[in-house]
A and B are shown apart, each in its own frame.
Chain A
Amino acid sequence: MSHEDTPKGAKITFQVDGRACEGFHHESLLGALRRLGFEVPSLCFHEAVSTYGACRLCLVEVQKGRKSRITTSCNFPVTAGLQVRLDTPAVQQNRKIVFQLLLAKAPASPEVRALAAEYGVHSTPYKVSEEAKDNKCILCGLCARVCTEVVGANAIAFSGRGSHKDMVAPYDEAAEACIGCGACVEVCPTHCIGLRETPEIRTIEKWHRDLPLQKCEKCGRPFAPTFQLMTLGKRVGMKLSDFKVCNDCR
Chain B
Amino acid sequence: MDDAKLKSIIEKHDRDPANLLAILMDIQKEERWLPKETLKALAAEMNLPLARVYALATFFAAFSLKPRGKHLCTVCMGTACHVRGAPRLVDHIQREFDVLAGNTTADMKLTLETVNCVGACALGPLVIVDGEYHGNMNAGKMDRVLKPIKQE
Contacts and interface: CB of A to CB of B under 8 A. Distances in A.
Contact of B52 (A154, A161, A175): A154
Contacts of A148: 49
A156 interface: yes
B36 A157 contact: no
If over half of B's interface residues share one DSSP class (helix, strand or loop), that class is named, otherwise mixed; here it is helix
Contact of B55 (A158, A164, A177): A158
A170 B51 contact: yes
B36 A169 contact: no
Contacts, number: 36
B50 interface: yes
A175 B51 CA distance: 9
Contacts of B8: none
Interface in A145-173: 148, 154-161, 164, 169-171
A159 B49 contact: no
B54 interface: yes
A217 interface: no
Contact of A154 (B51, B59, B60): B51
Nearest to B56: A157
15 contacts: A154-B51, A155-B49, A155-B51, A157-B52, A157-B55, A159-B59, A160-B59, A161-B59, A161-B60, A164-B58, A170-B51, A170-B54, A175-B51, A177-B49, A177-B50
Interface of B: 36, 49-55, 58-60
Interface of A: 144, 148, 154-161, 164, 169-171, 175-177
